[in-house]
Amino acid sequence: VKAIKKLKPKRIIVAVPTSSMAALRLLDNEVDIIVVANLREEPIYAVADAYINWRDISEEEAFKMIMDIYKGRGEKL
């Protein structure tokens, strides 16, 4: 968020799949909009608990998934 603020955007929107209330409070005054699909009351929890189907993936797998999305759209990264 600090790096984005240096670019002086009109507004900052943060979207995350899961978060605790404590983490949201840290960002509350820093951004304009926060979107959270799975909000947790507990201050500490395993992120995997927020998902029905979770598995760890390697950095290489993540990179390939991102590249496949861009290729499917006909875009270059």
**1-58 per-position pLDDT tens digit:** 999 999 999 999 999 989 999 889 999 899 999 999 999 887 777 888 888 888 889 9
The per-residue pLDDT for 58 is 95
Report d(CA 22, CA 25) in Å as an integer: 5
Query: What domains are defined for the chain?
Result: 2-73 (3.40.50.2020)
Report d(CA 32, CA 7) in Å as an integer: 15
